[in-house]
Amino acid sequence: MNQLLRTALSGLAMSGFGLGSLVALPGAASAQPRPPAAIQETMEIGDEPGRVSTEEVSITEGPYARQMVLFRSNEAPGTVVIHSAERFLYVVQGNGRALRYGIGVGREGFTWSGQVQVSRKAEWPDWRPPPEMLQRQPYLPRFMAGGPGNPMGARALYLGSTVFRIHGTNQPETIGQAISSGCFRLANGDISDLYDRVPVGTKVIIRHKATL
């Protein structure tokens, strides 16, 4: 070490600055890293593998509580109608009524509409993120067994041959939000109730735009 450098370091020490302070200056390599943007996205959409929520949780108060409502429809009783913009899922009962559930829906860029059928049902389903999701979020697990800590929740209704499902969630506080990657989520108590009412083969109509 040359004399000039020794003199400079000695001056820093006498001024109360050690080498540790020197490397902690703004822009230094040892600055605290921020979470990658992809991880921040996962925290925002509310899919937290390992978070535990019980099957008994239902939405019991407020606008997203399960309730019987007036509902005009020409669809046969038992048909499921999803109004994404309103954050509601309806099971048509006939006589101008429907059983309504509060739901979470796809965030901006992940909304869709159409008509499908319930192709399969599962209790405490396993979670296999589809390739499209893994491409966006490669750090997600490739497989997670069903259970209270699974983001798929207590039940799942699979929609036709698509990658989308109506399923539970281990984060019931996300009901009423546009937060998913295209699936429709209900609180675990509500998806369990819906699961018992809706058989395989049920028609499901997804409407994205708000009704008049």
How is residue 159 written in tokens?
């929609």
Check 66, 100, 165, 167 and give the catalytic one. Answer: 167
Whole-angstrom Cα distance, residue 87 to residue 176? 5
Check 91, 152, 183, 204 and give the catalytic one. Answer: 183
183 classed as catalytic = yes
How is residue 84 written in tokens?
């994404």
In whole angstroms, what separates CA 66 from the centre of its chain?
20
Q: What is the DSSP string of 196-209?
A: HH--TT-EEEEE-S
What radius of gyration, in Å, describes the C-alpha atoms of the chain? 25
Residue 115 dihedral angles phi and psi, to the nearest 5°: -130, 130
Q: Which of 84, 98, 104 is nearest to 198 (CA)?
A: 98
165 classed as catalytic = no
Strands annotated E in 52-128: 67-70, 80-83, 88-94, 97-102, 105-106, 114-123
Give me the active site residues, please: 167, 183
